A and B are shown apart, each in its own frame.
Chain A
Amino acid sequence: MSQPFSAAPRIATLFAKIGPALLSVGTLVLAWELYARISRISPTTLPAPSRVLAQAIQQRQALFDNTVPTISATLAGFACSLAVAFILSVLIDFFKPLRRALFPVFIISQTLPLVAIAPLVVLWFGFGLTPKIMLVALVTFFPMLVALVQGYESIDRDISALLSSMGASRMRIFLLARLPSSLPYFFAGLRISITYAVVGAIFAEYAGAAKGLGIYMLNAKNNFRPDLMLAAVLVSALLTLALFAATVLIQRAAAPWERLEGARKP
């Protein structure tokens, strides 16, 4: 239901929603700041948050230049992973034995340690965008595939029985019922994988890249600048949060009925 057009209650509701999060994060940062100041610990060991923030602002151009390639790698990798996961999920839904044939391979792919696979992919595909896209796709593909396949299976059996009694073909049932049933699962998977995606991109850059947050962190580490390293961490955290918020907004726009349903979420 749309609320009456007045700003005050909306701001109050917004505050009630994000207030606790702000409070917990604020308390953590404050404790960290106090500890760094009182203990007089060296900034090359543990820089205070105020110093990290100051450095982040001072280095904003360099940080921005290194964030852009990370965002491109994340989004391009994630887009590839989504496309492949969707196509495979449809094939698996129509041809069940495929699931038994492919899932073991994908599960093994999820056990590969990134520490080992990232340098290898860079070795094989160079310092360009390709290895980053591949690594992001590798870490996000399987959660998305599982979410979609499970989502199709979550169809209300009464709805499929109804559609076949109406004479709907297998394809029709998929489009009219199985696909929309998978939406809540799809978005749950999306929210999980999008956080992996940023980490995956940074890891790939860490293993070798011309630019990017990963290589920026590596350089900061090698120059004994934990403040710059944490500044890059701050940027990557904000990036992840922004992507997460985007998925929530997309879900609200794409599935307006879910908020009416309340309980029926995986």
Chain B
Amino acid sequence: MSRRLELRQVSKRFGDIDVLADITLHIEPGEFVSILGPSGAGKSTIFSLLTGGLEGHGGDVDFDGRPLADTRRPFAFMPQHDALMPWRTVIGNTALGLEVQGMSRKAARDKVAPLFGEFGLAGFEQKYPAQLSGGMRQRAALLRTVVQDRAMLLLDEPFGALDALTRTGMQRWLQTMWERHRWTVLLITHDVREAVFLSDRIYVLSGRPARVLREIAIPLPHPRKDLASPEASAIEADILDTLLDPQPAQRT
């Protein structure tokens, strides 16, 4: 089985600042993988390299066994803040990616419209983003991302700006959605509990310059209902130890 995405010893410098030192990771098709690391560690830089926002890096990036440069935009990207356009209605925002792909405005909206119910946005098609709650905005942004039918989703701290209660609700919702659709997801987060709850595997990054400290498989069965089961809590505590006290001995 070929790996969907593979990064080998990827590094990146801005001027004389090393941002990424040595990033080696991979994602299988249908897998939910998280990149967990402290703020400002360069997690978003990895996404910028993947989406073409940044150019030039050390190491190799392969997608489905071929160099990423030879592929045609295999990622659907969801930026840190929802990045909804205030001047577009919700349906206009969610259809944006399809329109950019060259679909007509009407065809794009026809394709998005049936998904509004599943994303908890039914009845809000013609509203503006300013009229939505924080959770709804994130669901709209996620709908805009998945409707593009790309081979892989890149989610950059999708729930970072939400209040704690809404965030927990959104994590459960995303978990249910993923179990139903089995998207291939690479998630960036600094929320340990979120990573443990949602992921099949987690890569723990160090502070800048970022390198992979650990790779942790989460063997918890699906469907997952409880964010704080005893098994999950044990893994969480272990990861927190790594993040807060990254001794060389643990780096293996």
Contacts and interface: CB of A to CB of B under 8 A. Distances in A.
Contacts of B53: 161, 164-165
Interface string A197-239: 0000000000000000000000000000000000000000000
A159 B83 contact: yes
23 contacts: A158-B80, A161-B53, A161-B79, A161-B83, A162-B79, A162-B83, A163-B100, A164-B51, A165-B53, A166-B96, A166-B97, A167-B73, A167-B100, A176-B100, A177-B85, A180-B85, A180-B87, A256-B128, A257-B130, A260-B128, A260-B130, A262-B130, A264-B86
Interface string A235-263: 00000000000000000000111101110
A159 B85 contact: yes
Nearest to A262: B130
Contacts of A262: 130
A172 B79 CA distance: 19
A62 interface: no
A260 B131 contact: yes
User: Secondary structure of the B side of the interface?
Assistant: loop
Interface residue range, chain A = 20 to 34
B252 interface: no
A168 interface: yes
A258 B85 CA distance: 12
A156 interface: yes
Interface in B121-146: 128-131
Question: Which of A162, A167, A176 counts the most chain B CB atoms within 10 A?
Answer: A162
Contacts of A261: 86, 130
Interface residues of B, number: 23
A162 B96 CA distance: 10
A158 B87 CA distance: 15
Given A161-B77, A166-B148, 6 more contacts: A156-B83, A163-B100, A164-B53, A165-B53, A167-B100, A180-B85
A183 interface: yes
Interface of A: 156, 158-159, 161-168, 172, 176-177, 180, 183, 255-258, 260-262, 264
A61 to B, nearest CB: 46
Given A172-B100, A257-B86, A261-B86, A162 B77 contact: yes
Interface string B61-98: 00000000000010101011101011100000000110
Nearest to A168: B100
A198 B166 CA distance: 53
